[in-house]
């Protein structure tokens, strides 16, 4: 669905339905007045009086005469509970509701957002961004694997949505629209990749996706195969890939805005396990199908590049490198065994006590590689790394680990602004001996079950230079949801982390 600004008068009579957000328990008159004469029939309409505007509730009203504009009231709940995310949810629900109707052109008046009378710096743009993103995400569906039943019409989707204005949109509002549309593009790509089954979304499929993005938008791109891993000493990454028949790939994407070629880059490292069976330390069968989503970190980074390509790069002043180690983790005759020892790219040896702790193995070599490639201004890894993080923080919250308080606080601030739940987690350096003392090598890839998320982070930290600002985002919980919400129809892949990371590179 295209979403664009449109002068209100010029669009008169073309809008199929006006979306009108309302607060619960508040007088609807200002909102109705903001709609202009076309909706004067709404004044005193009983439907309007009956509508309580609870969060997520919708009511479609019309004047009864042909040609009069229809109105879709969207409840926001109580003002005191409001966050911009609530508006996104309401617009998502509204867009979804319209997808069943033959109302060709939904429209939202910028005045309707102003009529909400929400104060705060940048609030207007923020609301606009949230509304646009919500409307787009509300229409997301992963249907690639469903065959159309015979004689069944394709579901009706509105082709475009107008953002109606009487005063031309400000530069900030235009920027908010472009950002939201780019984000939507990126998030939908990430969702498609993460929801896609592992027999289709293989490391080579991710390679093709990255190559296509690079070709379309002029990003730097390189792809390395298993031979490269062997020849260059990325033996921990190699060890994970050995059990799989699918070929591994190490993908490198780069966006350098004009004049930044020599600058220290932001490096985003995304875990790309296209399927995590656990390897020889095989996972139990129940729920294993979910492990197609173990490349959600890589999916978020690819989505971020898609967002840059879709227009966000016009606002980006930083050099950004995406580093994506992609492989399956499978059992097999050549697979790594528990107890195997590998020499990592850093020179440190690792005992693979549990082959299911594979994420840290592919990441540790890439952390070293990232710091060999450049001096990162920030090095951020994003990974569905530990079940322990899900147990500790719940399904909806990601863990944030860092060696740099400034980077940590910045990411927390951006996450809050973007409605993504990240929570600061500790790394206990003094517990390192738990990983090293009883190890047959310099360090083991697993520690005790208790505190598993922090031990994973502590392991990764051994591969990061003290002077490198580094953050580790454990998104095992929020990456893939069993329950649906208006902005996540059908549940499944969220595209989690992309918003915060995009905001970080646009700062």
Return residues touching ligand BES (CB under 6 A).
Answer: 276, 294, 354, 356-359, 384-388, 390, 446, 452, 476
Q: Is 438 a catalytic residue?
A: no
Out of 158, 359, 399, 469, the residue judged to bind Zn ion by CB under 5 A = 359
Token pair for 320: 């950004």
Stretch that binds Zn ion, among 1-9, 130-138, 274-282, 460-468 (CB under 5 A): 274-282
Query: Count residues contacting Mn ion (CB under 5 A)?
Result: 3
Token pair for 325: 């180690």
Stretch that binds Zn ion, among 47-55, 74-82, 186-194, 358-366 (CB under 5 A): 358-366
Q: Tell me how far CA of residue 159 lies from CA of 2, 152, 502, in angstroms.
A: 6, 20, 27
| Residue 381 is a binding residue for Zn ion (CB under 5 A) | no
Please say whether the beta carbons of 331 and 280 come within 8 A. Answer: yes
* Interacting partner of 233 out of Zn ion, ligand BES, Mn ion, none (Cβ under 5 to 8 A depending on kind): none
Q: Tell me how far CA of residue 304 lies from CA of 84, 179, 283, 484, in angstroms.
A: 22, 12, 31, 23
Query: How far apart are alpha carbons 176 and 409 in whole angstroms?
Result: 24
Please tell me what DSSP assigns to residue 362: H
175: Cβ–Cβ under 8 A, 6 or more apart, which residues? 125, 315
DSSP 15-44: -SEEEEEE-TTS--HHHHHTT-GGGGGGTT
Burial-class residue 116 by CB neighbours within 10 Å (0-12, 13-18, 19+): buried
Choose the catalytic residue: 249, 319, 360, 410: 360
Q: How far is the CB of 330 from ligand BES (least distance, A)?
A: 13
* Interacting partner of 354 out of Zn ion, ligand BES, Mn ion, none (Cβ under 5 to 8 A depending on kind): ligand BES
Greatest alpha-carbon pair distance for the chain in Å reads 81
Q: How far is the CB of 453 from ligand BES (least distance, A)?
A: 8
Token pair for 392: 């500790």
The residue at minimum Cβ distance from Zn ion is 276
Q: Name which of 324 and 390 has its Cβ closer to ligand BES.
A: 390
CA torsion sign, 365 to 366 to 372 to 377? negative
| Residue 356 is a binding residue for Mn ion (CB under 5 A) | yes
The residue at minimum Cβ distance from ligand BES is 387
Please tell me what DSSP assigns to residue 485: B
Choose the catalytic residue: 70, 85, 105, 283: 283
Q: How far is the CB of 207 from ligand BES (least distance, A)?
A: 21
Q: Is 85 a catalytic residue?
A: no
Q: Name which of 273 and 471 has its Cβ closer to Zn ion.
A: 273
| Residue 328 is a binding residue for Zn ion (CB under 5 A) | no
Which residues sit at the interface with Zn ion, rule CB under 5 A?
273, 276, 294, 359
**Residues of this chain that bind Mn ion (CB under 5 A):** 276, 356, 358
Provide the annotated active-site residues.
283, 360
């Amino acid at each position: 669905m295209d979403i664009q600004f449109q002068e209100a008068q010029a669009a008169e009579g073309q809008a199929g339905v006006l979306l009108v957000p309302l607060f619960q328990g508040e007088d609807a008159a200002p909102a109705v007045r903001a709609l202009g004469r076309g909706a004067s029939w709404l004044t005193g309409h009983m439907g309007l009086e009956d509508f309580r505007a609870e969060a997520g509730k919708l009511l479609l009203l019309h004047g009864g005469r042909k040609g009069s504009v229809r109105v879709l009231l969207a409840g926001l709940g109580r003002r005191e509970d409001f966050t911009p995310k609530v508006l996104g949810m309401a617009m998502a629900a509204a867009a979804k509701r319209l997808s069943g109707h033959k109302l060709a052109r939904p429209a939202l008046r910028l005045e309707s957002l102003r009529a909400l009378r929400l104060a705060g710096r940048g609030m207007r743009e923020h609301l606009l961004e949230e509304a646009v993103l919500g409307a787009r995400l509300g229409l997301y569906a992963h249907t690639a694997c469903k065959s159309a039943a015979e004689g069944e019409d394709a579901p009706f989707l509105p082709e475009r949505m107008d953002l109606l204005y009487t005063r031309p949109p400000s530069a900030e509002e235009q920027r908010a629209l472009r950002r939201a549309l780019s984000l939507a593009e990126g998030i939908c790509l990430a969702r498609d990749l993460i929801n896609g089954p592992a027999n289709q979304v293989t490391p080579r499929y991710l390679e093709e996706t990255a190559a296509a993005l690079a070709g379309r938008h002029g990003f730097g791109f390189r792809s390395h195969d298993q031979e490269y891993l062997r020849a260059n000493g990325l033996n921990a990454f190699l060890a994970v890939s050995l059990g799989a028949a699918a070929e591994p790939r190490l993908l490198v994407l780069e966006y350098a805005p004009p004049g930044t070629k020599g600058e220290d880059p932001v490096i985003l490292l995304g875990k790309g396990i296209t399927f995590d069976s656990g390897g020889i330390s095989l996972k139990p069968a129940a729920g294993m199908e979910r492990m197609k989503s173990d490349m959600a970190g890589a999916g978020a980074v690819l989505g971020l590049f898609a967002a840059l390509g879709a227009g966000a790069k016009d606002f980006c002043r930083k050099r950004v490198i995406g580093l994506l180690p992609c492989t399956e983790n499978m059992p097999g005759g050549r697979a790594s065994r528990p107890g195997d020892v590998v020499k990592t790219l850093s020179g440190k040896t690792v005992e693979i006590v549990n082959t299911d702790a594979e994420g840290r193995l592919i990441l540790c070599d890439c952390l070293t590689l990232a710091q060999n490639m450049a001096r990162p201004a920030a090095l951020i890894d994003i990974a569905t790394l530990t079940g322990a993080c899900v147990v500790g923080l719940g399904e909806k919250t990601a863990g944030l680990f860092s060696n740099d308080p400034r980077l940590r606080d910045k990411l927390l601030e951006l996450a809050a602004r973007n409605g993504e739940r990240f929570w600061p987690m500790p790394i206990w350096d003094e517990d390192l001996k738990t990983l090293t003392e009883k190890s047959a090598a310099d360090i083991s890839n697993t520690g005790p079950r208790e505190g598993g998320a922090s031990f994973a982070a502590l392991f990764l930290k051994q591969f990061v230079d003290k002077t490198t600002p580094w953050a580790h985002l454990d998104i095992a919980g929020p990456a893939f949801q069993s329950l649906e919400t208006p902005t996540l129809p059908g549940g499944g892949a969220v595209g989690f982390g992309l918003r915060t990371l995009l905001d970080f590179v646009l700062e």
